[in-house]
Amino acid sequence: MFHCLCRENGIDLKNAFVALEYTGGYEYRFIQHLHDKQISFARIPGIAIKHSLGITRGKSDKIDAKRIATYAEEKRRQLSPEKPVDKTIIAIKELLGLRKRLVRESAGYKATIKERKHMYGVGNKDFIVAVLLKKEAGNKRLIEKTEQQITLLVKENPAIHHSFKLLTSIKGIGKVNAWMTITYTENFTSFPNARSYAVYVGVIPFDYSSGTSIKGRKRVSHLANKELKQELSQAARSAIQWDTEMRLYAEKKLENKHYGIVVNNIRFKLILRMFAVIKRGEKYVDKYANVA
């Protein structure tokens, strides 16, 4: 279909540059096709396209395609051709998606069991509770097997395994956060720096003010990747507990800052550390580790 449309419109694919919206996974088969045919391409974050449009009305596939093309034409000199996504990255991301569904199912089972026990005063021998406990136990085994498969894929890819070891050297960053960061940054090739990734995750707040009459508080974008942000929240709380530098920073900031703001600051610090260890190619060194 793609080649037919190009031929009908007289497009020379050898000199073509394809721009498409970054969807976090749905575009992978198409970009692999573009790579196989040696066609240059670049993915554009949806938020960048949205903010470039101003006030808009109407939405359809045809309208969206025109908007992407208009943006790409305006930013052509700033867009660089991308390399194909590593197939291991795609496989890990699919397994993480499966793990996410299993974890959510288990959380639902736990909530139902707790609610039923509270409302009806029943125990584990209650038929419904017993069934849900079995399903929860089955999900737990499937989650473990899924994580084992991810671990195997990571170890089989030297570049990804190296990044994984660097990331998990940071206190607060566990295996799941490391896996997610590697896949969503495509092993730190799809974001130019820590700040751009932090914007994507929804950690960087922006000013909401105009002149002297509008003075809104800073807010993060609602278009951020909430799944990554949630995982980083857990990492931030862990870092506050186990990392001396982060704990001292949090204690000082909590004297006059809201807890949520402090956690968000810790999230950004963790992102900075992740990009720093990858750039240096060395594990994180805790400067407080040997302080008596």
Q: 207 — phi, psi (to 5°)?
A: -70, 140
CA dist., res. 100 & res. 106, Å (int): 10
Residues of the chain with pLDDT under 70: 1-10, 24-25, 47, 51, 53-58, 206-223, 289-292
pLDDT at 204: 84
pLDDT at 274: 98
Domain map (residue ranges) of the chain: 2-78, 87-156, 159-292
What H or E segment, with its residue span, contains residue 45?
Answer: strand 40-45
pLDDT at 56: 64
Distances (CA, A) of 247 to 140, 177, 234, 252: 32, 20, 14, 9
Residue-wise pLDDT for 142-200, tens only, equals: 999 999 999 999 999 999 999 999 999 999 999 999 999 999 999 999 888 999 899 88
pLDDT at 292: 46
CA dist., res. 168 & res. 273, Å (int): 11
pLDDT at 200: 87
pLDDT at 50: 72
pLDDT at 238: 96
pTM: 0.80
